[in-house]
């Protein structure tokens, strides 16, 4: 059967149909974007004997996860791919519909585990700790946020940025955290049964807005370089 844009294939969806599914939430997504994400290994649709792509519901959910992570968290594709790969291996809770790992509670990593998972050297991790960028918990374990941060730092190192260069990011983040704490701490202290849920929603929204503001301010500051 020959596929046309938007027409489901016998055992899956065409790239046009996937685009239609995604556009309600991501109006700027294009077929070229989907093909690019495929080329980066973030989604791997099947093919018909004649070469047409066949996307499954799982593929659509993977694409939604990638697009949300880019839009809401500003994560680089390398970090997003690591999260998806870990979810596929059952090593960490993945996005809804991508994996069904057993309930293991919060994941904890030893120092050796963190080095093995991220590919960092012992010396680099020591530097990150010295500059306050990574810090183990009271029991000496690291969590998935530490993993993600180390992966981002490693990616930035490919551009010549070393841990000592990143202290400014830590300082700026601490100031933002202090400001947000002033707003949400009174909410968490309220005693009614819905207070925690309200506080969580406010914190999530403020976190997203602060990340967006930080990104836009950096873009504005770099106009003198780009001439834009």
Give pLDDT tens digits for 48-102: 888 889 999 999 999 999 998 888 777 778 888 888 888 887 765 455 444 444 4
Tell me if 15-75 shares its fold with 106-161.
Answer: yes
- CA-to-CA separations, 119 to 83, 97, 147, 151, in angstroms, rounded: 15, 28, 10, 8
Task: Please spell the DSSP secondary structure of 149-196, one letter per residue.
Answer: HHHHHHHHHTTT--GGGGHHHHHHHHHHHHHHHHHHHHHHT--STTHH
Which residues are bridge partners to 53 per DSSP?
47
**CATH dotted code for 106-161:** 1.10.1660
pLDDT at 226: 78
pLDDT at 59: 93
Average pLDDT, the chain: 82
pLDDT at 228: 64
pLDDT at 92: 56
Q: What backbone phi and psi angles, to 5 degrees, belong to 145?
A: -65, -40
Percent of the chain with pLDDT over 90: 29
Length of the chain: 228
Which residues are bridge partners to 55 per DSSP?
13
Token representation of residue 25: 């939430």
pLDDT band per the 50, 70, 90 thresholds, residue 200: confident
Token representation of residue 7: 């027409």
Give pLDDT tens digits for 136-194: 988 889 988 888 888 888 888 888 999 999 999 999 999 999 999 999 999 989 888 88
pLDDT at 154: 86
Distance CA 138, CA 13 (A): 49
- Give CA angle at 167 (163, 170), nearest 5°: 115
Q: 134: left (phi > 0), else alpha (psi -120 to 50), else beta?
A: beta
Q: Find out if CATH 1.10.486.10 is the number for domain 15-75.
A: no
CA atoms within 13 A on the CB side of 136: 15
Residue spans per domain, the chain: 15-75, 106-161, 164-228
């Amino acid at each position: 059967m020959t596929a046309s844009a938007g027409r489901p294939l016998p055992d899956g969806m065409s790239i046009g149909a996937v685009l239609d599914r995604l556009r309600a939430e991501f109006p700027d997504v294009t077929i070229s974007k989907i093909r690019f994400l495929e080329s980066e290994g973030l989604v791997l649709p099947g093919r018909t004997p004649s070469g047409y792509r066949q996307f499954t519901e799982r593929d659509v959910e993977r694409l939604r996860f990638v697009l949300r992570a880019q839009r809401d968290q500003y994560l680089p594709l390398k970090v997003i791919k690591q999260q998806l790969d870990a979810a596929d291996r059952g090593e960490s809770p993945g996005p809804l519909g991508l994996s069904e790992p057993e309930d293991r509670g919060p994941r904890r990593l030893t120092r050796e585990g963190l080095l093995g998972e991220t590919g960092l050297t012992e010396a680099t991790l020591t530097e990150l700790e010295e500059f306050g960028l990574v810090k183990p918990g009271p029991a000496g374990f690291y969590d998935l946020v530490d993993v993600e941060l180390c992966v981002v730092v490693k990616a930035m190192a490919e551009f010549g940025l070393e841990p000592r260069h990143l202290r400014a990011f830590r300082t700026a983040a601490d100031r933002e955290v202090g400001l947000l704490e002033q707003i949400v701490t009174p909410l968490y202290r309220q005693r009614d049964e819905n207070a925690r849920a309200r506080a969580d929603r406010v914190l999530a929204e403020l976190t997203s807005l602060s990340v967006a503001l930080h990104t836009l301010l950096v873009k504005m500051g770099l106009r003198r370089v780009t001439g834009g």
